[in-house]
Amino acid sequence: MNPPLSVFIICQDEERIIGSCLKQAAKVADEIIIVDSGSTDATLEIVSQYTDKIFHQQWLGYGRQKNFALSKCRNEWVMSLDADEVLPDELITEIQHLDMSAPAYRIARKLYLGDKFIRWGGYFPDYQLRLFKKSLGRISDAMVHESVKLAASVECKKLTTPLDHFAYRDLQEMQNAFREFAKLSDRKPNILRALLNFTYTFINKFFLRLGLLHGYLGFQLALNHAKYSYLKYTGRGLSHASHEAPTRQQQ
């Protein structure tokens, strides 16, 4: 039998997917930790059906918010999930039968735009370190694009089955989220770097990573990411980045 597992999730206004997220997480977790930063929709009503360990924390940025959630976990083994991610049954079975021979595991993600799986353009397999021993890791303090940091000597393995990431309903929602992420960027404004990043990101995603196999949708996705790469280096919205929570949870 595997050791007890704590799943921790940060959220705000995530009623669309969080019910599916928690329904599946409850199949593998001994404890579910929720840290909410001010939901005004049905999020809290939904999560209360799955756990009573619900904490409110004013938005600190993605990294610090997740570290706050991590600090509430009582078990040594923990799993970080975003509120728009769902563990398929095959992945749950794989986790339940792990020999836990490594102290940390990376999990691939399948990105969905609406109900369409985005395979090409560099979006898959998108491995993320999500399952690890609490005593050996913490989350970086980055405002956005945070990641789990382990000691250099810690071995990390990969799981076979990906989780499902229902990030955006449509391209407009993705574009709106990218604008918010750009506001959280700590990059120094640099117009030349912005232009170079725009060009490289589009070429990389559409041509080198075969986003073109998605046709016009692949073109739009590459363009959205190129715009985001540009905005990160134009200093947009940095003055209030540390005070406002984004409208969507990060990828």
Domains and CATH numbers, the chain: 5-167 (3.90.550.10), 169-240 (no CATH)
pLDDT of 76: 97
pLDDT of 137: 93
Closest CA to 8 of 43, 49, 54: 54
pLDDT at 250 over 60: no
pLDDT of 245: 53
In this structure, the dihedral spanned by the alpha carbons of residues 41, 184, 125 and 109, taken in order and rounded to 10 degrees, is -20
Which ranges of 57-183 would DSSP assign to H, the alpha helix?
Answer: 62-71, 89-96, 171-183
Of 1-10, 29-38, 115-124, 238-247, the range with the lowest mean pLDDT is 238-247
Integer Cα distance of 84 and 112 in angstroms: 10
**Structure confidence by residue, pLDDT tens digits, 196-212:** 999 999 999 999 999 99
pLDDT at 249 over 80: no
The burial class, CB within 10 Å (0-12 / 13-18 / 19+), for 215 is exposed
Mean pLDDT, the chain, whole residue set? 92
Mean pLDDT in residue range 98-122:
96
pLDDT of 100: 87
**Structure confidence by residue, pLDDT tens digits, 26-81:** 999 999 999 999 999 999 999 999 999 999 999 999 999 999 999 999 999 999 99
**Structure confidence by residue, pLDDT tens digits, 178-194:** 998 888 877 888 999 99
Q: Which two tokens stand for residue 238?
A: 């940095």
